């Protein structure tokens, strides 16, 4: 399979000792391209720098997660603007609102979110968006900008069916993670996963977070990795009642079009991704 992980935090310090091996393991199972999430000013710079080590395989986002919204500054905004000029930085974000944790005051979150949407308008690049327990405010802000944005994906979507349709009505893409593999909190999503239009759906691991709870065989570490993306794909395929190969082709085509990614480099002689764990 040819898969794309649209959201993985590969600059996280849990990957410092084996980052190259983690990337290689993902490629071995058919994950030919990955989008490395930028969640802070320095994290966005680190994501950009990492992409230069893996041309046409890794791409980055540049943004500030709502947890870090209080750090928003003119200097940081200038840095993001500079990073977005790099063709390997393909999206603005991770930007949005998180009222579940409220690590930054809500007014600061809204200010940073709106500023990043302005950067997306200015740069012409799509948005990689974070939403948790903040639907009304998030939807209102996004709606004000949507007509001027290239595109937007609500990443790691876990909301209600009503919320899903609100973002589909705004012509947003939806990113699905291993949350759907969690019997404690993801079961409500099974009722609407089949309703997401095939041309608006993408998949992601959000590694090192959200390791699928039903993963077989189990990984001893609590750390999630991009190489488990085929498991998420399979779980989603069952919920949507489609063949995994069909879903792989659809989500990969969507991701490549959404982020304006090139085709991946051809496999070297002797290389043959297995497409499974």
Residues 132-190: tens digit of each pLDDT: 999 999 999 999 999 999 999 999 999 999 999 999 999 999 999 999 999 999 999 99
Whether residue 276 lies inside any domain: the answer is: no
What integer pLDDT is reported at residue 147 of this predicted model? 98
Whether residue 274 lies inside any domain: the answer is: no
Whether residue 212 lies inside any domain: the answer is: yes
For 187-206, the pLDDT digits (tens) are 999 999 999 999 999 999 99
What integer pLDDT is reported at residue 274 of this predicted model? 37
What integer pLDDT is reported at residue 257 of this predicted model? 98
Q: Over range 1-24, report the average pLDDT.
A: 97
CA angle 201, 53, 261 (to 5 degrees): 30
Asked whether the beta carbons of 205 and 12 are under 8 A apart, the reply is no
Q: CA 277, CA 66: separation in Å to the nearest integer? A: 33
What integer pLDDT is reported at residue 171 of this predicted model? 98
For 210-250, the pLDDT digits (tens) are 999 999 888 888 899 999 999 999 999 999 999 999 999 99
With tokens 């948005």, the residue in question is 127
Q: Is the pLDDT of residue 118 over 60?
A: yes
Per-residue pLDDT band at 268 (split at 50, 70, 90): low
Whether residue 68 lies inside any domain: the answer is: yes
Query: 25 lies in which domain range?
Result: 3-258
CATH number for the domain harbouring residue 52: 3.20.20.140
- Name, in order, each residue with C-beta under 8 angstroms of 271's C-beta and a sequence gap of 6 or more: none
Per-residue pLDDT band at 63 (split at 50, 70, 90): very high
DSSP letter string over 194-237?
A: GGS-GGGEEE---TTS---TT-SSPPSSS---GGGHHHHHHHHH
Helices within 98-160 (DSSP H only):
106-123, 135-145
Q: Over range 43-67, report the average pLDDT.
A: 98
Whether residue 273 lies inside any domain: the answer is: no
Whether residue 177 lies inside any domain: the answer is: yes
Whether residue 265 lies inside any domain: the answer is: no
Total tally of structural domains belonging to the chain: 1
Asked whether the beta carbons of 34 and 5 are under 8 A apart, the reply is yes
Q: CA 231, CA 47: separation in Å to the nearest integer? A: 25
Global pTM reads 0.95
Whether residue 202 lies inside any domain: the answer is: yes
Q: Is the pLDDT of residue 43 over 90?
A: yes
């Amino acid at each position: 399979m040819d898969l794309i992980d649209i959201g993985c935090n590969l600059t996280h310090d849990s990957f410092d000792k084996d980052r190259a091996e983690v990337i290689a393991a993902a490629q071995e199972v058919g994950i030919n391209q990955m989008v490395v999430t930028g969640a802070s000013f320095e994290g966005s710079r680190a994501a950009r720098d990492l992409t230069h080590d893996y041309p046409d395989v890794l791409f980055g986002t540049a943004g500030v997660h709502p947890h870090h919204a209080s750090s928003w500054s003119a200097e940081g905004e200038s840095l993001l603007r500079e990073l977005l000029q790099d063709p390997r930085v393909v999206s603005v974000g991770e930007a949005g609102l998180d009222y579940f944790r409220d690590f930054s005051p809500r007014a600061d979150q809204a200010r940073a979110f709106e500023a990043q949407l302005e950067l997306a308008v200015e740069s012409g690049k799509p948005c990689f968006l974070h939403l948790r327990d903040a639907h009304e405010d998030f939807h209102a802000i996004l709606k004000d900008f949507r007509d001027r944005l290239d595109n937007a994906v609500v990443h790691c979507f876990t909301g209600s069916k009503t919320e899903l349709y609100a973002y589909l009505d705004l012509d947003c893409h939806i990113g699905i993670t291993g949350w759907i593999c969690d019997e404690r909190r993801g079961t409500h999503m099974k009722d609407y996963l089949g309703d997401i239009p095939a041309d608006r759906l993408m998949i992601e691991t959000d590694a090192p977070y959200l390791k699928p709870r039903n993963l077989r065989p189990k990984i001893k570490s609590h750390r999630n990795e991009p190489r488990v993306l085929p498991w998420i794909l399979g779980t989603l395929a069952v919920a949507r009642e489609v063949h995994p190969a069909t879903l792989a082709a659809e989500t990969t085509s969507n991701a490549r079009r959404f982020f304006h990614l090139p085709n991946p480099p051809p496999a070297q002689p002797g290389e043959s991704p297995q497409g499974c764990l």
